[in-house]
């Protein structure tokens, strides 16, 4: 009967447990496949490109939405200007009463909505003419006013995001 004693020492002096735990001298460490590294790099780049695409698309959607919003507002701004004229005319004639107060409240509500949307009236009178914000519809001399200064506003202008939605229609001072 040939019984093999598993507890017998190795002729080299190593125990059987050490032979199991020791790295094999016969098989070297595996060499990484360059195709795997290339694919890993490709996946990382594709993920970064996709993240950039998502960010760019979200920004374009927000910009498109804002542009549509401003185009819609631009269409009703002339009505706001006419309401301002009606309120000013009523004040000029001394009108009062519930109808006048109602018009003032509606106008105030429009101004609150516009401010909430980041839309503001373009300042004009007393400022230098700015062709990006003002539309010169008349010119005239005025004593003690520097040429190129806005001296009258015929129609209010509005801006949003640093650009004129509707330029203010103004009269500009000229040299005498």
Give residue limits of the domains in the chain: 35-117, 120-176
pLDDT one-digit tens code per residue, 97-127: 888 899 999 999 999 999 999 999 999 999 9
Direct distance between the N- and C-terminal alpha carbons of the chain, in angstroms, rounded to an integer? 131
Q: What is the CATH number of domain 120-176?
A: 2.30.22.10
> What is the rounded CA–CA span in Å between residue 78 and residue 91?
20
Please check whether residue 124 is in contact with residue 154, taking contact to mean a CB–CB distance below 8 angstroms.
no
**The two three-digit tokens of residue 59, written as one number:** 């920004």
**Integer Cα distance of 29 and 86 in angstroms:** 89
DSSP character at residue 128: B
Tell me the pLDDT band of 93, cut-offs 50, 70 and 90. confident
Per-residue pLDDT tens digits for 22-76: 555 566 777 788 888 889 899 999 999 999 999 999 999 988 889 899 999 999 9
Q: Smallest Cα–Cα separation from 69: which of 167, 161, 169, 156?
A: 161
Q: What's the pLDDT score for residue 8?
A: 53
């Amino acid at each position: 009967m040939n019984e093999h004693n598993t507890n017998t020492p190795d002729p080299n002096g190593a125990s059987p447990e050490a032979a199991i735990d020791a790295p094999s001298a016969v098989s070297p460490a595996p060499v990484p496949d360059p195709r795997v590294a290339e694919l890993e790099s490709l996946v990382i780049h594709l993920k970064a490109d996709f993240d950039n695409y998502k960010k760019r698309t979200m920004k374009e959607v927000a910009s498109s939405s804002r542009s549509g919003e401003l185009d819609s507002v631009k269409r009703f701004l002339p009505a706001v200007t006419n309401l301002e004229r009606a309120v000013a005319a009523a004040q000029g004639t001394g009108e009062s009463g519930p109808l006048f107060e109602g018009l003032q409240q509606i106008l105030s509500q429009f101004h609150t909505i516009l401010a909430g949307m980041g839309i503001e009236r373009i300042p004009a009178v007393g400022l230098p003419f700015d062709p990006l914000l003002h539309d010169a519809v008349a010119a005239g001399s005025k004593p003690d006013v520097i040429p190129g200064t806005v001296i009258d506003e015929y129609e209010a202008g509005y801006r949003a995001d640093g650009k004129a939605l509707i330029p203010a229609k103004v009269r500009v001072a000229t040299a005498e």
